[in-house]
C-alpha cells in the first residue's frame, strides 16, 4: 500500500488485495472509492452492495465500511478531511464548497451504492481520480489548482447523480413533484425561494392548494420536508466545522440558535451536544 499525504488535507491509497483482512473502519469526513479491478461486496452499516470493475462509491462520514472480496481487487481510495474545505483563504469559496459536500452527504443515504448516472460521467470521474493521484505524486506549483478543479468536478457530478436518482424516484409518483423536490434541495439555504407563494408561482399551482398537493404526493408536509432537509445539513456542519450554533442557524435561516436547538431536539430526540458526543456502532 502506498499513501500520499499533503498537509493532511487528503490521503490517496491504491490497494490491491485478494482478501480483506482489516477491521471495519469509519471516515472522519468522507471518502471516494473507485474499483479498478475485481468483484465482491461492500458492507455499509450492515448493508451489503455488490461491487464490480468500474464501480464508484461515495463513503459518508461515520458510516462503517468493509469489503468482502470475491476476486482479486484493485481499489483507489481518496480520503478527504474537513481541513481540505476549511483551509481556503476565500471564506465565500469555502462556504460554497462546504455547502456542496454537505448536500452530497445529507442526501446520499437516500440512494446508497454506486450512484453514477451515466458511463460518460463514470469515465470522467475515473479520469479525475487518476489525475488527482498523478498530481500528488509529482506535486509541483500547478498541482494544487489542478487537484482543486478535479475535486470540484467530482463533487458536482456526485451531487447531480444523487439528486437525479432521488428526483427520479419522486418522478415515479409525479413528475412535477420530482422537479419541486429538486428545486427545494437546490435552494435549501434560500428562504425567499422556499416561500409558499414563490413555490406556487414557480410550479403553477395555486397557493391555497400547494401544501395539500405536496403532502399528498410526498407523504410529508412541505414544512417538515424543508426542516428535515436543513437538519441533515446541520448534522454535517455540527460534526465537521467549528461554526457556532448561531452561525449555523444564520446560514440555514433558522430564527436563532435556540430555534435550531429546539427543532433539532424535537426531530432527533437528543440535544445537539448529545448528538455530537454520541458514539456510533460499527458493522462487523
The CATH number that applies at residue 221 is: 1.10.10.60
Q: In the prediction, which pLDDT does 236 show?
A: 76
Alpha carbon distance 25, 209 (integer Å)? 48
Res 4: pLDDT: 37
Most confident of 58-67, 87-96, 163-172, 212-221: 212-221
Domain boundary among 124, 141, 168: 168
Q: Look at residue 190 in the predicted model and tell me its pLDDT.
A: 86
Angle subtended at Cα 154 by Cα 170 and Cα 125, rounded to the nearest 5 degrees: 100
Q: Tell me, yes or no, whether 35 and 127 share the same domain.
A: yes
Task: Check residue 280 and give its pLDDT.
Answer: 45
**267 within some domain:** yes
Instruction: Say if residue 63's pLDDT is above 70.
Output: no
Q: Report yes or no on 271 lying in a domain.
A: yes
* pLDDT tens-digit map of 128-148: 999 988 888 887 888 878 887
Residues 272 and 184 in one domain: yes
134 and 244, same domain (yes or no): no
Does residue 206 belong to any structural domain of this protein?
A: yes
Domain boundary among 103, 138, 168: 168
Residue 40 lies in a domain: yes
pLDDT at res. 139 = 79
pLDDT on residue 266: 94
Query: Is residue 284 domain-resident?
Result: no
Answer yes or no: is 225 within a domain.
yes
Burial environment of residue 75 by CB neighbours within 10 A (0 to 12, 13 to 18, 19 or more): buried
Q: What is the CATH number of the domain that holds 6?
A: 2.60.120.280
On whether both 153 and 247 belong to a single domain, the answer is no
Portion of the chain with pLDDT greater than 70, in percent: 75
Summarize pLDDT for 149-193 with one digit per residue, the tens: 888 888 888 877 777 766 666 555 567 888 888 788 778 888 899
| Section 17-39 average pLDDT | 81
pLDDT of residue 25: 65
Query: What's the number of domains the chain is made of?
Result: 2
Q: Which of 168, 188, 210 is the last residue in one of the domains?
A: 168
**Claim to verify: residue 186 and residue 260 sit in the same structural domain:** yes
Sorted by sequence, the CB contacts under 8 Å of residue 181 that are 6+ apart come out as 166, 167, 170, 218, 225
Is residue 48 in some structural domain?
A: yes
Domain identity same for 177 and 259: yes
Q: Are 135 and 211 part of one and the same domain?
A: no
The residue assigned the cell 430526540 is 269
**Structural domain range at position 178:** 173-277
| End-to-end C-alpha distance for the chain, whole angstroms | 23
Which tops the pLDDT comparison, 87 or 124?
A: 124
Give the dihedral sign, CA 198/110/234/243: negative
pLDDT value at residue 135: 87
Model pLDDT for residues 237-265, shown as the tens digit of each residue: 887 677 789 988 998 899 999 999 999 99
Same domain, 54 and 110: yes
Whether 18 and 134 share a structural domain: yes
Looking at the structure, tell me whether residues 145 and 207 fall in a common domain. Answer: no
Query: Is 283 inside a domain boundary?
Result: no
One domain for residues 64 and 86: yes
Q: What percent of the chain has pLDDT over 90?
A: 32
pLDDT at 83: 61
Backbone dihedral angles phi then psi of residue 15, each to the nearest 5 degrees: -130, 135
d(CA 179, CA 137): 43
| pTM reported for the whole predicted model | 0.68
The residue with greater pLDDT, 111 or 49, is 49
| Alpha-carbon dihedral sign for residues 107, 113, 118, 122 | positive
Average model confidence (pLDDT) for the chain?
A: 80
Which ranges in the chain belong to alpha helices (H)?
83-86, 91-108, 119-138, 143-171, 175-186, 196-202, 207-218, 222-240, 245-251, 257-268, 272-277
Residues 160 and 183 in one domain: no
Amino acid at each position: 500500500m502506498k499513501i500520499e499525504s499533503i498537509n493532511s488535507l487528503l490521503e490517496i491509497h491504491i490497494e490491491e488485495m485478494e482478501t480483506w483482512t482489516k477491521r471495519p473502519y469509519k471516515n472522519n469526513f468522507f471518502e471516494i472509492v473507485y474499483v479498478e479491478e475485481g468483484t465482491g461486496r461492500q458492507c455499509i452499516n450492515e448493508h451489503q452492495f455488490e461491487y464490480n470493475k468500474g464501480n464508484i462509491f461515495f463513503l459518508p462520514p461515520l458510516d462503517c465500511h468493509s469489503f468482502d472480496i470475491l476476486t482479486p481487487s484493485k481499489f483507489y481510495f481518496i480520503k478527504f478531511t474537513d481541513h481540505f474545505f476549511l483551509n481556503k483563504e476565500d471564506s465565500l469559496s469555502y462556504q460554497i464548497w462546504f455547502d456542496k459536500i454537505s448536500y452530497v452527504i445529507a442526501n446520499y443515504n437516500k440512494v446508497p451504492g454506486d450512484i453514477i448516472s451515466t458511463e460518460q460521467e463514470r469515465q470522467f470521474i475515473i479520469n479525475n481520480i487518476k489525475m488527482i493521484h498523478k498530481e500528488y505524486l509529482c506535486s509541483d506549483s500547478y498541482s494544487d489548482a489542478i487537484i482543486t478543479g478535479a475535486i470540484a468536478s467530482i463533487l458536482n457530478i456526485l451531487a447531480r447523480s444523487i439528486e437525479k436518482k432521488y428526483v427520479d424516484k419522486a418522478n415515479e409518483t409525479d413528475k412535477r413533484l420530482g422537479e419541486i423536490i429538486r428545486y427545494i434541495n437546490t435552494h435549501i439555504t434560500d428562504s425567499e425561494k422556499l416561500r409558499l407563494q414563490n413555490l406556487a408561482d414557480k410550479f403553477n399551482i395555486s397557493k391555497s392548494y400547494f401544501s395539500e398537493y405536496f403532502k399528498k404526493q410526498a407523504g410529508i408536509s412541505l414544512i417538515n420536508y424543508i426542516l428535515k432537509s436543513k437538519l441533515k445539513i446541520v448534522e454535517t456542519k455540527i460534526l465537521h466545522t467549528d461554526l457556532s450554533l448561531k452561525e449555523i442557524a444564520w446560514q440555514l435561516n433558522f430564527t436563532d440558535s435556540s430555534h435550531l436547538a429546539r427543532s433539532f431536539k424535537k426531530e432527533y430526540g437528543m440535544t445537539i451536544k448529545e448528538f455530537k458526543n454520541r458514539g456510533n456502532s460499527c458493522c462487523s
